[in-house]
Chain A
Amino acid sequence: MIQRFFCKGKRWLSGIKRSGNWPLFPQSSLVARFVLGIATFLLVAGCDRAPDGRTHVLIWHQKIGGERDLFNEQVARFNSAHPDCVVDTLYKENEELRNLFVIGAVAGQGPDIIYGPADNVGVLVTTQTVLPLERVFPEEFFSRFTSQGIVSWKGARWLVADQIGNHLTLVYNSELVPKPPATLDELISIGQRLTKDSNGDGKMDQYGLTWNYREPFFFIPFLTAFGGWIMDADGHPTLDNEQTVRAIQFVLDLRDKYKIIPKEGDYEIADMLFKEKRTAMIINGPWSWAGYHVPNGSMVAPLPINSATGLWAEPMISAKGYSVNSNLPTPKLASVRSVIAFLTSAEVQTEMATKLSTTPVDRAVLDSPAVRSNPTLIASMQQIEHGRAMPIVPQMRAIWEGMRGPYQLVMNGAITAKEAAKRMQKEAEKNIADSNL
């Protein structure tokens, strides 16, 4: 086609040279084709229905591993049962997912549906990039969900979940740890027993415990075990206090005093060590369980209680689910409604609970014998009982960023725990102030 276009242009030019007349036909054909092409493109791009006549619904998600495989199976099932609608899915890493969605949606683009953790809601609502779900579903739709299954903020519902799936738990290798630790003291003693230098080369061949201790999200259970929390009810950081100092010092002691965790602990290394059975216990979330072959070989248990304070090591709890792009064209609403209804249905949640051990948010599924008799889910639900809801306010971003730097510095030994707590507070406050400029 391109070649024909250029050949025609060449002939037209040679025609000019030969006759000196305006060659009407080729010119009008060229312009007409160009205009027609642009018009067709705009027409197709602007259509809700694709050229195949089916309504395409695009979902951006952050499901990984076994969860993604099952998700793709479920989507394929939906597509085969709905000849008039096609669900397309695209994986994006969580940070990228949120950022690109915001940018796309602000520009009037982006996917029809976004799937992610509830803490994205603060950013998505503040940037007005998602629709209140009351405009998508009738009121009776929400009644089958538990209170954690529907994420509300500022008087509207924004996310409908298919699971509570962002909570950290203790995962342990049942060959090495017959009974999980109930207290932090037990965690230390089991960790010390299982941290070994088998070949005597001065390097540990097996550690008692590991987790991604470079990320503040993984620090939260320790913070709560010492009575701390990240913000007050107004969204102001509450990090410069004795509780934070004690929690940081405890993590430092696990590494430097009790020596039960590796010298460096990013996510990939921790994950690899546990998969290679070179660490007895790991702190990780439900997204990782399939990779650890839970419940065959590895088991899940709630994070221990701190006997010194009487407080549980409470991780942040949040639902994961679907939100709808604020740019969704009205003709697509019915299709989007049926897609989300299917992907959060009792059938899908039961399948996820039995195959992936995710915690359902459908009341009937949650009370079903299949869920109530599943040991992994029982442990997971115990953890959820001993967890704290993850704040969804946009200040969370600023607080995470404020915590990350000092937390890493204290783990390097560059600053003390007290200095780290002070800096966390200062940087979180600065980040919140900067966000307003």
Chain B
Amino acid sequence: MLSDKNKIRIFLGVLLGPALLVILSVIAFPLLFNFVLSFSNANIYHIRDWRLIGYDQYVSVFRQQLFWSILLKTVIWTLVNMVFHVSIGVFLAVVLHQKFIRGRAIWRVALILPWALPQYICALTWRGMFNYEFGAINLLITKYLHLPPVQWLTSPFEAFLAVIITNIWLGFPFMMVIALGGLQSIPEDLYEAADVDGASKWFQFWNITAPLLRPVMIPAITLGVIWTFNNINVVWLVSNMGEPADSTHILVSYVYKAAFNMYRFGWAAALSVVIFGILFTFSQVFLNKTRATESVY
């Protein structure tokens, strides 16, 4: 005869079982399988009869010069994007939070649009706009700024810049929405008290708004870093698979190319584990250092 406690446990098990099964099958199993694959020789010739070969794929990843340059590029890509996402997002949120702004709801909807549109459509539209002869960007540059047209998609530096510009445009609304939510939870009394004490708006921003936004923004930044670090869509679509000459790849797009263009599954799995390690370490260190999970109230 089972006790009530055990019966409850069984019932909860039945309830949680399906969810657990799904999580195990779509997260835990692929992660584990990828880890195993990273120690294998799985490639186009050994896709069915692959075997474990030790650390060879990791050695190959770290020995490749291109890995280090793409890693550096990925760090730059992530940093630049995050700086602009957060600064533009928080700036717009603070502006939209002001009571004197008219039609705030309309502004909010308009500014969220880049985030609401499918990334695929946005990226391809931006790609068209970056065309040397017929793109809107160069037409504006030449017609209104009287500057020479820029080879946005064919020169390595400019192409990377084009991809970053696209992702900044796509990414700031998320930070804006998060910051707006955070601003609404800051008690108005604090600003009133600061006003009574004669504090300037700048002082209020740095001593009230910024510290109280922190608990909201730090997890958002952590997520933003992970998403940006792994954002294959924009890079792949705007630069047309890392063009020119693989110069706009970030690590995750390079993984995709290795796995699905070159069928180097073992190598791509090893690089994926490296990316996982980088992001896992970053998020742990960042969350601990910033004490983001602690309450400020």
List residues of chain A with CB under 8 Å of any chain B CB.
9, 12-13, 16-17, 20, 22, 30-31, 34, 95, 99, 102, 106, 123, 126-128, 203-204, 214, 262-264, 266, 268-269, 394, 397-398, 401, 404-406, 408-409, 411-412, 414, 431, 434-437
Q: Provided the pairs A264-B131, A264-B132 are in contact, do residues A435 and B56 lie with their beta carbons within 8 angstroms?
A: no
Complex CA distance for A264 and B2, rounded to whole angstroms: 75
Q: A398: which B residues are within 8 A, CB to CB?
A: 262
Q: Please, how many angstroms separate the alpha-carbon atoms of A405 and B156 in the complex?
A: 11
A436 touching B4, Cβ below 8 Å: no
Contact partner of B128 among A30, A203, A268, A408, CB < 8 A? A268
Residue interface mask B254-293, A partner, CB < 8 A = 1 = 0000001111101100000000000000000000000000
Q: Which residues of the partner chain B approach A263 to less than 8 Å between Cβ atoms?
A: 132-133
Question: Which residues from chain A contact B14 at a C-beta distance below 8 Å?
Answer: 9, 30-31, 34
Question: Which of B67-75, B111-119, B221-229, B237-245 touches A?
Answer: B237-245
Contact check, B48 vs A106: say whether CB atoms are below 8 A apart. yes
User: Which residue of B41, B48, B128, B261 contacts A437 across the interface (Cβ within 8 Å)?
Assistant: B41
Contact A408 B154 (CB under 8 A): yes
User: 6 A-B Cβ contacts within 8 A?
Assistant: A22-B1, A123-B263, A401-B261, A401-B262, A435-B263, A437-B267
| The residue from B43, B48, B57, B131 contacting A269, defined by CB atoms under 8 A apart | B131
A262 touches B133 (CB 8 A): yes
Residue of A nearest to B155 (CB): A412
Question: Are A269's CB and B41's CB within 8 A?
Answer: no
- Cβ-defined partner of A264 (8 Å) among B153, B156, B264: B153
> In the bound complex, do residue A13 and residue B57 qualify as a contact, i.e. CB atoms below 8 Å apart?
no
B131: chain A residues within 8 A (beta carbon): 264, 269
Give the secondary structure class of B's interface: loop
Bound CA–CA A436/B44 (angstroms): 8
Closest to B21 in A: A38
**Contact across chains for B244 and A405 when beta carbons are under 8 A apart:** yes
**Complex contacts, B260 vs chain A, CB 8 Å:** 95, 99
By a CB distance below 8 angstroms, the chain B residues around A22 are 1-2, 7
- A127, A269, A408 — most chain B CB neighbours (10 Å): A408
A431 to B257, CA, bound (A): 12
B23 lies within 8 A of chain A by Cβ: no
Range for the number of chain B residues in contact with chain A: 35 or more
Q: Given A9-B11, A95-B261, A264-B132, is A405 in contact with B43 using a C-beta cutoff of 8 Å?
A: no
What separation, in Å, do the CA atoms of A406 and B247 have in the docked complex? 11
Q: Which of A127, A406, A409, A434 contacts B47 (CB 8 A)?
A: A127
Q: A405: nearest residue on chain B (CB-CB)?
A: B245
B8 touches A16 (CB 8 A): yes
In this complex, what residue of A is CB-closest to B2? A22
A interface, over-half SS: helix
A269, A408, A431: which contacts B243 (Cβ < 8 A)?
A: A408
Q: How far is the CA of A413 from the CA of B245 in the complex (A)?
A: 12
Q: Which residues of B contact A431 (CB under 8 A)?
A: 262
* Docked complex Cα distance between A273 and B1 (Å): 80
* Cα distance A435–B258 in the bound complex, in angstroms: 9
Complex alpha-carbon distance, A142 and B53, angstroms:
43
Nearest CB to that of A106 among chain B residues? B47
Interface string of B148-160 (1 = CB under 8 A from A): 0001011110000
A401 contact set on B, CB distance < 8 A? 261-262
Task: List, in ascending order, chain B residues with CB within 8 A of A34's CB.
Answer: 14
Chain A residue numbers with a CB within 8 Å of B8 are 13, 16
- Please tell me which one of the listed residues B4, B134, B246, B263 contacts residue A17 in the complex, with CB atoms under 8 A apart: B4
Interface contact A434-B48, CB-CB below 8 Å: no
Chain B nearest CB from A253 CB (Å) reads: 18
Across the two chains, which residue of chain A brings its CB closest to B243? A408
Given the complex of chains A and B, what is the CA–CA distance between A266 and B61 in angstroms? 31
Residues of chain A with a CB closer than 8 A to B262's CB:
397-398, 401, 431, 434-435
B60 close to A (CB within 8 Å)? yes
Within 8 Å CB of A126, what residues of B?
A: 44-45
Are A264 and B154 closer than 8 Å at their CB atoms? yes
The answer to whether residues A412 and B128 also contact, given A263-B133, A397-B263, A431-B262 and a CB cut-off of 8 A, is no
CB-based nearest B residue for A395: B44
CB distance from B89 to the nearest CB of A (A): 32
Contact A405 B2, beta carbon cutoff 8 Å: no
Min Cβ gap B264→A in Å is: 6
List of A residues within 8 angstroms of B243 by Cβ: 214, 404, 408
| B15 on the A face (CB < 8 A) | yes
The 10 A-B pairs with the shortest beta carbon distances in the complex, nearest first, are A405-B245, A408-B244, A264-B132, A99-B260, A412-B154, A409-B245, A127-B47, A263-B132, A408-B245, A16-B4
Q: From A34, which residue of chain B is reached at the shortest CB distance?
A: B14
Cα distance, A397 to B264, chains bound together (Å): 12
Given known pairs A22-B2, A408-B154, A408-B245, the reply for A435 and B45 (CB within 8 Å) is yes
Q: How far is the CB of B17 from chain A (nearest CB, A)?
A: 8
**Residues of B contacting A397 with CB < 8 Å?**
44, 261-263
**A434 CB contacts on chain B under 8 angstroms:** 60, 262, 264, 267
Given A13-B11, A22-B2: A411 and B261 within 8 A (CB)? Answer: no
Chain A residue nearest in CB terms to B17: A34
CB distance from A217 to the nearest CB of B (A): 14
A406 touches B44 (CB 8 A): no
Contact with A along B14-54 (1 / 0, CB 8 A): 11000000000000000000000000010111011000000
- Inter-chain contacts of A405 with B (CB < 8 A): 244-246
**Which of A16, A123, A404, A437 has a CB less than 8 Å from the CB of B266?**
A437
> Taking CB as reference atom, which chain B residue is nearest A263?
B132
